[in-house]
Amino acid sequence: MTHIYFVRHAQPDYRSGDNRTFHLSDEGMQDRYKALDVLKNVKFDRAVSSPYTRSIETIMPLVRQQGLELTLDERLRERDNAGGSSNSHEMFRKRWGDHDFHEENGESIRSTQERNVAALNDILTEYEGEDVLVGTHGTALSTIINYYHPEFGFEQFLRIIDFMPYVVRFDFDGKKLAGMEELFFLQKEYHGVK
């Protein structure tokens, strides 16, 4: 059995850079320890993350504590919003209602899902039977959940949009999902970027 522990980043400071380089807010820097405390008894074999700063900063204390080497995978990045913050309930509903919909030069739910699931499948192949820590994002993780549970859509996405950080364990038998469990979340105010 392979166990993948997805950790959606803690609250970012949206004023501290662009979508790739946002640092965690002061509150997020503290909150990450609450999430990682839930994982303190898991001995991880590997750590993989989105290359975005907020994801790395969220899991880095545990990576260091366990002496892991962090592998960055560009495919695990968040949905590309083409530099715009066109996030509203109307836009969320459009994206989740039509997985091919995207803003000009932006990325659809489907393309985000395809690259995230491809990265996950490579992790499952390469690290079969291991416990793997993965730093991720709200929409990216939602597309993975939707891949295995197609009923996950707009309403379910809105439920977790404010979960920062958010920890979910996926259990795999080979590449077949055997179970999924929410382990932890903190509800924080969403400011328009995931």
pLDDT in tens, 98-119: 999 988 888 999 999 999 999 9
Please check whether residue 109 lies inside any domain of the structure: yes
Check pLDDT > 50 for residue 189.
yes
Please check whether residue 54 lies inside any domain of the structure: yes
139: confidence class by pLDDT, cuts 50, 70, 90? very high
What is the spatial order of strands in the sheet that 163-173 belongs to?
Answer: 70-72, 46-49, 131-136, 2-8, 163-173, 176-187
Which domain CATH number covers 65? Answer: 3.40.50.1240
Please check whether residue 194 lies inside any domain of the structure: no
Please check whether residue 136 lies inside any domain of the structure: yes
- In 12-56, the DSSP E strands lie at 12-13, 23-24, 46-49
CA distance 62 to 46: 11
Contact 23, 10 (CB under 8 A): no
Please check whether residue 192 lies inside any domain of the structure: no
Read off the pTM. 0.95
User: 29 is in which domain, residue-wise?
Assistant: 2-187
15: β partners: none
Please check whether residue 137 lies inside any domain of the structure: yes
Please check whether residue 151 lies inside any domain of the structure: yes
The total domain count for the chain is 1
Contact 95, 109 (CB under 8 A): yes
